[in-house]
Amino acid sequence: MEKVVQRFIKYAKEYTTSDPNSTTYPSTNRQITFMKKLVVELKEIGLSEVEMDNYGYVTATIPANGFEKSPVVGFVAHVDTSPDFSGENINPQIIENYNGTPVELKNGVTIDPKDFPEILNYTGQDIITADGTTLLGADDKAGVAEIVTAAEIILNSKDIKHGKIRLAFTPDEEIGKGTDNFDVKKFGADFAYTLDGGEIGELEFENFNAAGAKIKVHGRSVHPGAAKDKMINALLLAHKLVGMLPPSQRPEHTEKYEGFFHLLSVNGNVESAELHYIIRDHDFNKFTEKKNLLKKIVQLINLEYGKTLVELELTDQYFNMRQKIEPVMYIVDIAQKAMEQAGVEPKIKAIRGGTDGARLSYDGLPCPNVFAGGHNFHGPFEFVPIPSMLKSVEVILNIVQLVGKTEY
C-alpha cells in the first residue's frame, strides 16, 4: 500500500499545469508527456486495453474475475494541476509524525494551524507538502496515484473478486475542459467515481452550477488636461461594475450552499479593460438569477452612457450532477458502505466546485466524487496526509468488491 506514496511523489514532480488561454486540446503538451509515461506504467503493472487517444485521454481495463454479470464500474482522475499557482519544479517533502505546530516552508509560507486548523486533525500522522514555492498537486495526482495503486493490488490479488473495471485519466479538468472530448460510450462503464475529493471521508454527489463571464469595457482616452466631458475611463467603469455586484456574494464571504461571483482578473487602461468572472451556485434558479443580475448591470451601465461601452460574454461550464445521480442513488450507497468497511466516517457534502464527474454525469455516466485526501488545493499551503491516501486506496478496493456483488 505504501506504493501510493512513492507514486504520488513521482507524479507530483511532473509538470502538468493546464493553460486556460490555449486553443489546443489538451491545452499543454506537458500533459501529453505525463500521459505517455502513465501508459507505460499501466502496461507494466498488467492492465488490459491500455490506450491514449488523440485527445490525451488514457483508459485501461481490469477484466472481471468471477462477476461477469455485475455492472462495469469506472474510476476517473485528472492529471493536470491548476494554473492558479506554479506547478513547475514541485519538490514534495514528507513531514513525519506531524506535531501540531506551524509547518515552515520556503518564501515565508507557513501552514499555520491558526489559519488552517484542519491540519490539527492529522497530528501524529505523516503528511506531504510542497516546499513553499509551488502547489503540491494532490489535486489530482493523489487520485491518480490511488487509482493506479488500487489497480495493481487488484491485479496481484486472488482474493479480491470483482466485475469489469474501467480506469480513465483526463487532462484539462482544472480549466473546465476535462471531458470536452471524452467518449462515454467507448469507455463502457455503467457508472464511475472520480477520485478528486478533499479530506478523508468526503463523498459528494452535488456540485456547483458554473458559468464563466468575460466582460470587455470600452473607454475613451483623452489627455487628462483636456478630458472634461470627453474622457471615459474604462478602468473606472470596470470598477463601477464590480461595485454593483453584491459584496456578500463573493467567495470570501460564502460557505456551504451559498453561491458567489468571483473576480478572477482585471486588465486594462483608460482606453479598454477586460474582466473575467466565474459564477457559481448549487441552486439552478439562483444560478440563473446571478447570470441575469450581471446582464442587468451591463445593460444599466450602457443605458447610462447611451452607447455600448460594456460587452458581456457568458458561457455555461457545467451543472449540478445531483439531478443525474438521484435516480441511481445506490452508487452513492455503495461508496458510503465502502468507506464504513474501511473504518472511514462518510462525510456527504456538496462540492463547492466541480469535477469531471459533473460533466460525465450529464453525458450519461453517473459519477459521484470520492475523497483523495488533500487540503488547501491550488496554492503553496497544500498538503495531503499519507494515511488518508492509504484509506482512499482501501475504499477503491471495497467499492469494486461491493459492485461485483451487485447484479442487474
Residues noted as catalytic: 80, 173
HEC per residue, the chain: CCHHHHHHHHHHCCCCECCCCCCCCCCCHHHHHHHHHHHHHHHHCCCEEEEECCCCCEEEEECCCCCCCCCCEEEEEECCECCCCCCCCCCCEEECCCCCCCEECHHHCEECCCCCHHHHHHCCCCEEECCCCCCCCHHHHHHHHHHHHHHHHHHCCCCCCCCCEEEEEECCHHHCCCCCCCCHHHHCCCEEEEEEECCCCEEEEECCEEEEEEEEEECECCCHHHCCCCCECHHHHHHHHHHHCCHHHCHHHCCCCCCEEEEEEEEECCCEEEEEEEEEECCHHHHHHHHHHHHHHHHHHHHHHCCCCEEEEEEEEECCCHHHHHHHCHHHHHHHHHHHHCCCCCEEEECCCCCHHHHHHHCCCCCCEEECCCECCCCCCCEEEHHHHHHHHHHHHHHHHHHHCCCC
Contact 215, 277 (CB under 8 A): yes
Whole-angstrom distance, CA of residue 218 vs CA of residue 270: 9
